[in-house]
Structure 1
């Protein structure tokens, strides 16, 4: 019999994966009637979680893992979370999911709530570095894997974001770009907002090129709206920190008959599926999620929870836009 997942419960009940997660973890504002339906469905389907299991079962669940993510969305759920969930279940772990979005608790308080439940380890995917979260981490002995941001006293799993953007910018320069616009995101997102910009800056300063910098929320529609106020004719290339930014800009460029790869160079990071479907296809960076999951499973299996900063592979994928 295959393992039951949150997605199975969501399909059965007609609720979103996010709502199912909040109902099972007990951390969101959910109607009592809806929560009852979700918990009953989870129990009927045989969903394995320390919350749904009976008391006698949960006492024997020594390998319980908590996963704390910003929110469930199509990309995160289908890629990283799906890989992680499959491997954890295959290795006999019982997994409880928590989301920051929709929780009745602030992020630091939610993390403390999870720590107090006594999990073997917590897998945490923060959007940004927060002082109050670091303060909570400093007081716990529970092993925490931090994927995407660097926190003290954690097993940090990340990409070399500075080097990645340095290499991507040099590709644009090598393709003839002299005036480059960099579109990044907020600097409190240290890895994406700050380190990727540092890599870009190193490349343009070495080449002694003219550049401009704009900051935008990582959202396709926000990037599209921002693009409407940009005079793109003054740039040879637009290098962005995320595919969500490049896709919003791509949409505006195509509407304005400015063709990426022909009239202007354009790149993103993340390798969303759509970047290979649109025409012209988008140059981007593939981030190895499988390597992240491999490290987590290996460390859990070996009970190796030494705080450490670990780097995982990425691959620049050149397509028609650059």
Structure 2
């Protein structure tokens, strides 16, 4: 069986350097780390977890928690894509991930209690409501933690540039000649919903365009059903109907497309639609959805780097990472006739 001594001999580095590289210490250069990890893959090295835990005083596990209002967890395409990227990146550093709930053996426990029970080294929280009491307890606990999709000055956070993404969507529609643009917003109880609404209003103001109150429809917590019902309300405006709609999430945009189809409204001939997220199905539907792309691979990668750094250093210095977004133009938008 391959040992850490074999890795050291093959790479020419000391056992200490190999160990520090495998534990992702920041004082090991990326070039050195890359060479060591290549040798690990080539030689099939798998450190003994018990021995490694005794040596490093770590469990080599990271807890994953979902705190979001739809209650869909991993079923949500955005969350699942981020966690898959996060999983791949932390696994490359030797960590396993486990999902934490508020139930242990049929007994209700707090997330903190469950994390302590499992002995995790750190926690990544997929969250839409920062005011959640359990999230606050996690952040205030000594366990290293990171929250995705929120902004806070109380913990490390990673989120997309929701505000800028909304402006990109409005700019695109204006360039196509649209002036009457509505917005299906996500819940204002969420950071993403608030920022995307703020960006929409700023984008419209930039182009000196009015936003009647009837042009803001509430899609709730980013669900297909919420988008469907919100679009029905917009279509009910009749002659005062907008020529384009910016939807705060792709799941809602899918529901909005269904409402248009049922009403005999052609997208994009009669109505242009822009979504937000660029979930996988967005490019496969008809019409393919123009949308603002969140870089879920980069979100997951940066989340792994920030959280593992906190675990290794036990630092309480908080990192705030905002990930750029981009507009992906497909078939659901068209120039005004």
Do residues 261 (structure 1) and 279 (structure 2) align? Answer: no
* Structure 2: gaps spanning 5 or more residues: 1-48, 68-72
Shift of 1:116: 6.3
Q: Distance in 2 between matches of 1:164 and 1:112?
A: 38
- Which sits farther off after the overlay, 244-253 or 131-140? 131-140
Equivalent in the alignment of 1:224: 228
Compare relative contact order (CA 8 Å, sep 6+) and give the higher one, 1 or 2. 2
Please say if residues 69 and 100 of structure 1, whose CA atoms lie closer than 8 Å, have aligned partners that are also in contact: no
Equivalent in the alignment of 1:183: 184
Q: Distance in 2 between matches of 1:195 and 1:256?
A: 30
Please say if residues 166 and 200 of structure 2, whose CA atoms lie closer than 8 Å, have aligned partners that are also in contact: yes
Q: Give the counterpart of 1:90 among 92, 98, 116.
A: 92
Q: Give the counterpart of 2:321 among 284, 307, 310.
A: 310
Cα 1:236–1:101 change in 2 (3 A) is farther
User: TM-score, structure 1 length as denominator?
Assistant: 0.73
SS at match of 2:261: helix
Q: Distance in 2 between matches of 1:263 and 1:140?
A: 53
Shift of 1:185: 1.5
Please say if residues 129 and 188 of structure 1, whose CA atoms lie closer than 8 Å, have aligned partners that are also in contact: no
Cα 1:131–1:222 change in 2 (3 A) is closer
SS at match of 2:253: helix
Matches within 5 A, 1:193-232: 193-211=193-211, 212-217=215-220, 218-230=222-234, 231=236
- Which sits farther off after the overlay, 61-70 or 109-118? 109-118
* Structure 1: gaps spanning 5 or more residues: 1-52
Shift of 1:68: 0.9
Q: Distance in 2 between matches of 1:139 and 1:216?
A: 32
Do residues 283 (structure 1) and 286 (structure 2) align? Answer: no
Equivalent in the alignment of 2:332: 321
SS at match of 1:197: helix
Equivalent in the alignment of 1:136: 137
CA RMSD of aligned residues (A): 2.9
Shift of 1:129: 1.7
